[in-house]
Amino acid sequence: MLGNDPFDVVVVGSANLDLVVRSPRIPGPGETLIGDAYDEYPGGKGLNQAVAAARSGARVAFVGAFGDDEAGARLRAVAAEEGVDTTSAPSISGTATGRALITVGDDGENTIVVVPGANALAVADAARSGIVILAQLEIPVEAVIRAFVDGKRNGATTVLNPAPATSLPRELLAVTDVIVPNEHEIQLVGGVNALLEAGVSTVIVTMGASGVEVTTTGSGAVAPTTTRHAAIDVDAVDTTGAGDAFCGALAARLAAGDTLDEAVAWAICAGGLATTRRGAVPSLPTRDEVSAALQPSR
């Protein structure tokens, strides 16, 4: 580990340039549509979640990889502007920065195809120490496992967002404290019971407008308990980045010492607010915005 003082949140993950097309709806297989607009935004689940955590007040380090192209320089500058440390995210010579090809319909729903680029070469050899280690699966799973093993050794809480969803190695689940799949990913990663049996202590399933379901073994609980949390009421225009807003905010609040329920409530609000603006990083709410939105219920 580098440095003696841990960060609040260390995000081990991807950085992409998002290429976004807006169309009246998501096209079906083999269908061609005329798009309404095209934009480029900073993104990648790792960078999104790092910025989300920073905007929720955490001191954040990002561990990953950029390409040595203009896109990589652009994304590194975004991280710097947000106060996210990228010392452990090298620029890989001769390699392109990752790209995400995103289609967003008028109803706010989206489809995403990711081209890893430099993300496929990300390693966790220089992972910083943190109170919470947060990772996703847009980088090699071996890097995530190493970061979590090191994190657990140093007393960190490990949080995994299993996206894109795939079969998860048992050695990864054994060092995962909290897992945050969405309603589609939960089935692809084995279901709640299988995750708990593999050693995960808390499973948080995000379900968009239907809210969040939290199942946890808790401390000293005889059997797992499940609670439901309602979503906030928003007019969604783009769901891109909402899950990342949730995960980054959750990690930030857990690192700050919130209870699980408090952290989930904050993360739900952050995720909901993110759907009200277009793009990934541009949509991520600040601590003041989330606090103001939560005020009526507190």
Cα dist from 134 to 43, 159, 242, 250, 269, whole Å: 16, 5, 16, 10, 19
The CATH class of the 7-281 domain is: alpha beta
pLDDT in tens, 45-60: 999 999 999 999 999 9
Give the mean pLDDT of 16-41. 93
Q: If pLDDT is split at 50, 70 and 90, which confidence band does 263 have?
A: very high
Position 223 scores a pLDDT of 84
pLDDT in tens, 125-157: 655 689 999 999 999 999 999 999 999 999 999
Position 127 scores a pLDDT of 54
The answer to whether residue 39 is catalytic is no
Q: If pLDDT is split at 50, 70 and 90, which confidence band does 110 have?
A: confident
Position 237 scores a pLDDT of 87
Cα dist from 107 to 103, 225, 229, whole Å: 12, 34, 23
Selected catalytic residue, list 244, 258, 261, 288: 244
Strands 60-63 and 37-43: unpaired
pTM: 0.91
Every domain of the chain and the residues it spans:
7-281
Contact between 131 and 49 (Cβ < 8 Å): no
What are the tokens at 116? 């890893």
